[in-house]
Amino acid sequence: MAIMVQKFGGSSVGSPERMRRVARRIAEAADAGNQVAVVVSAMGDTTDDLIALSRELNPRPSRREMDMLLSTGEQQSIALLAMTLQNMGYDAISLTGRQAGFHTDGAYATAKILSIDTGRVREELDAGRIVIVAGFQGVDSRGEINTLGRGGSDTSAVALAIGLNADVCEIFTDVDGVYTADPRIVKKAWKMPEVSYDEMLEMAAMGALVLQPRSVELAKQYGVKLHVRSSFNHNEGTIVKEEANMNKDMEKELIVCGVAHDMNVLKVTLFGVPDRPGVAGDIFSQLSRLGVNVDMIVQSGSRDMRQDISFTCGRDDRAKVESIMQSIVRQLPAENYTVVDTVAKISVVGAGMITHPGVAATMFKVFSENKVNIWMISTSEIKISCIIDEDEVTKALLSLHTAFGLDDENA
């Protein structure tokens, strides 16, 4: 008998109707003779609503109480889903993160899963039950409830698949899979049949928020194949695995597998920073102490022993950044600073870049032909990212998608 792990995101269980549809999907897998363990997120916007509610009562709630609160979202959905299945005549049982054996490291809000003891889950599966597990949560060695960061149910599902040595790990979501670009903007984007872990990590980290990046890291580490697919239809989705072959047409070798964009970018520049050892260390340790998640960093060449340093982070970190820039300018001292929130990040991703030079040149040529100014550039082995004005994102996405041969001509 095969063991299947299925994960359903919040939008897939966002209403009673959707909950029933998910239950039918699970029932199908059970009817086909599989042992089915399901990980589920909180219904719809529950997590956001709970965050908003907490802020009304305390603008700076403690992380412990936030985890206590947010973990209830998943606890509602597991019980409701188990009831739905029971009402359909299936033997189902819901388990919290603790009951399902998720041990976490004690870091409220950003916990990592240290180990998973699947004894109880296996027992229930062997008794013929469908097991519904709360995603996004675990308990630390003191019994404290920890959550795994936004989107953490994906990571719960991968961990459960590892713990159960599952044959299949399906991640159900509200899109058909992973696309070459956002299909709402790029009409000629298409669903990749396969994508490698590394490419998926780059895409995920860049706003193609189909999977929590940590879930992809974990899947890569243990070689768990993921099938990302829609909970609204039976189409094949995207398989995330070690080596991907995404070419629809074997004749045509694609070097770039996708063009991603991220609008959640804040660009901060410090002008006239003294050029001496220790300055960057000082600036970025102050930012890290405040919990600002810095993405790109660029330092200009030095003139007159001064230089400019720019970095990007998420727009939600704006208040934290602003709270210390004044004092950083005074301490260093630097000349001044700017904070700009009208920029976005565009990235081209593809494992083919490792062996094919010229991707950056093509990208910059596309920008120059379209009169798109580049503010910052950063690269990894399989990705090139540029910060551009947010108004130019649509134009940039469309023209890069064409230039890298990604357009689906039948679309």
Count of residues that interact with ligand ASP, criterion CB under 6 A: 12
Which residue from 172, 347, 352 is spatially nearest to 246, judged by alpha carbons?
352
Alpha-carbon distance of 182 to 207, in angstroms, equals: 10
Site string for ligand ASP, 10-39 (x = CB under 6 A): x-----------------------------
Q: Is residue 108 near ligand ASP by the rule CB under 6 A? A: no
Binder of ligand ASP out of 19, 22, 42, 279 (CB under 6 A): 42
The DSSP letter of residue 303 is B
306 part of the interface to ligand ASP, by CB under 6 A? no
DSSP letter for each residue of 153-198: HHHHHHHHHHHHT-SEEEEEESSSS-BSS-TTT-TT--B-SEEEHH
**Cα(27)–Cα(38) distance, rounded to whole angstroms?**
11
Could you tell which of Mg ion, ligand ASP, none binds residue 42, using a CB distance below 5 to 8 A set by kind? ligand ASP
Output phi, psi for 87, to 5 deg: -65, -25
| 152 is a site residue for ligand ASP (CB under 6 A) | yes
Min separation Cβ 146 and Mg ion, Å: 18
Rounded to a whole number of angstroms, the minimum distance from the CB of residue 243 to ligand ASP is 27
Footprint of ligand ASP on 49-78 (CB under 6 A) = 73
Distance CA(404)–CA(324), nearest Å, equals 41
In one-letter notation, the amino acid at residue 90 is Y
- Please answer whether residues 109 and 50 qualify as being in contact, where contact means their C-beta atoms are separated by less than 8 angstroms: no
Q: How far is the CB of 135 from Mg ion (least distance, A)?
A: 9
CB of 173 to ligand ASP, least distance (A): 10
State yes or no: residue 41 binds ligand ASP (CB under 6 A).
yes
163 interface partner picked from ligand ASP, Mg ion, none, CB below 5 to 8 A per type: none
CB closer to Mg ion out of 34 and 147: 147
Select the span of 127-135, 150-158, 250-258, 374-382 touching Mg ion (CB under 5 A).
150-158
Contact with ligand ASP (CB under 6 A) among 44, 151, 163, 350: 151
Q: Does 135 bind ligand ASP (CB under 6 A)?
A: yes
Please tell me the distance from the alpha carbon of residue 41 to that of residue 149, in angstroms, as a whole number: 12
Residues whose CB is less than 8 angstroms from the CB of residue 79 and which lie 6 or more positions away in sequence, other chains included: 94
Length, in residues, of the chain: 411
Shortest Cβ distance from residue 276 to ligand ASP (Å)?
42
Instruction: Give yes or no for a contact between 37 and 160, defined as CB atoms under 8 angstroms apart.
Output: yes
Kindly state whether residue 136 participates in binding ligand ASP, applying the rule CB under 6 A: yes
Between 157 and 292, name the residue whose CB sits nearer to ligand ASP: 157
Name which position in 150, 188, 306, 320 contacts ligand ASP (CB under 6 A): 150
Residue 151 near Mg ion by CB under 5 A: yes
* Sheet with strand 194-196: strands edge to edge: 92-95, 130-134, 35-40, 3-8, 168-173, 226-230, 238-241, 194-196
If the CB atoms of residues 171 and 343 are measured against ligand ASP, the closer one turns out to be 171
DSSP state of 105: -
Q: Exposure of 181 by Cβ count < 10 A (0-12 exposed, 13-18 middle, 19+ buried)?
A: buried
CB of 51 to Mg ion, least distance (A): 15
Q: Provide the minimum distance between the beta carbon of 91 and ligand ASP in the complex, in angstroms, as a whole number.
A: 26
237 binds Mg ion, rule: CB under 5 A: no
Number of residues that bind Mg ion (CB under 5 A): 2
Question: Taking the CA atoms of the chain, what radius of gyration do you get in angstroms?
Answer: 23
Quote the Cα angle for 366-188-209, to 5°: 85
Name the residue nearer to Mg ion (CB basis): 173 or 312. 173
**Taking Cα atoms as reference points, which of 335, 331, 337, 339 lies closest to residue 278?**
331
Site residues (vs Mg ion, CB under 5 A): 9, 151
- Contact residues for ligand ASP (CB under 6 A)? 9-10, 41-42, 47, 73, 135-136, 150-153
